[in-house]
Amino acid sequence: MNKFPLISLAAAAVLALAPFDASAAQWAGVAQRQGAPVTLDTLQQSRWIADGRDDAPRKVYVFLDANCIYCAKFWADARPWVDSGKVQLRYLMVAVIAPTSAGKAATLLADPDPARRLAAYERSHAFGVARMLQGGPHASMEDANLAPTPVSEDVARFLQANEGLMTALNLRGTPGIVFRGLDGRLVAIGGMPRAGLESVFGAR
């Protein structure tokens, strides 16, 4: 789990559902009031990358950094629920781990099919990350197939807005997992759930 300093923002912007080549005006979205709680509606209206079927009964939001090894593990471990159609993951990109994180996010978001590009990237690293976490050789997240590209002002604002949402949710690590609990309230978990993915997704 990555640790990073809390980011002080006057407001956490909620971005409208617009294409990633949108103009600055489209990217601006709706400003969230300072101190206002993040709600499920806030996350639904933000810009995310879907992983899984739209008709999946359970939706889980995940703040993801492309350099996060635990994000790769989460992606791999979630396959049984996603592939069976029980869960749709909705990834919100952030850049909180390494200098290349923002550039990788820019490359991913500029792709005509970000969902396919993200799946290919995570799949290519899942095995190496699993071995490393079990005491094997170091697994690098550097990948020529997702090389960093220059970050536009619009993408920078977008990433900053997502980091602001993480701060508002008191999430200090990635993956940052957010879902509706049994009582209807939002549950936010920083890093891999200690109680296992069943605590987030339900039974397989």
Q: d(Cα 32, Cα 142) in Å, to the nearest integer?
A: 35
Q: d(Cα 37, Cα 177) in Å, to the nearest integer?
A: 16
Q: d(Cα 18, Cα 5) in Å, to the nearest integer?
A: 29
Query: pLDDT tens digits, residue range 188-202?
Result: 999 999 999 999 999
Instruction: Tell me what pLDDT residue 37 has.
Output: 85
CATH number of the domain within which 31 lies: 3.40.30.10
SS3 state at 32: coil
Closest-CA residue to 71 (of 192, 194, 200, 201):
192
Instruction: Check whether the bond before 175 is cis (ω within 30° of 0).
Output: yes
State how many domains the chain has. Answer: 1
Structure tokens given for 198: 């069943």
Structure tokens given for 43: 């996350």
- Look at residue 150 and tell me if it is in a domain: yes
Q: Which residue has the tokens 């200690």?
A: 194
- Look at residue 49 and tell me if it is in a domain: yes
Query: pLDDT tens digits, residue range 126-176?
Result: 999 999 999 999 999 999 989 999 999 999 999 999 999 999 999 989 999
Structural domain for 88, as ranges:
13-170+179-190
Angle between helices 114-133 and 101-110 (to 10 degrees): 140
Query: pLDDT tens digits, residue range 19-52?
Result: 333 322 222 233 344 457 899 999 999 999 999 9
Instruction: Tell me what pLDDT residue 15 has.
Output: 29
Q: What is the pTM of this model?
A: 0.83
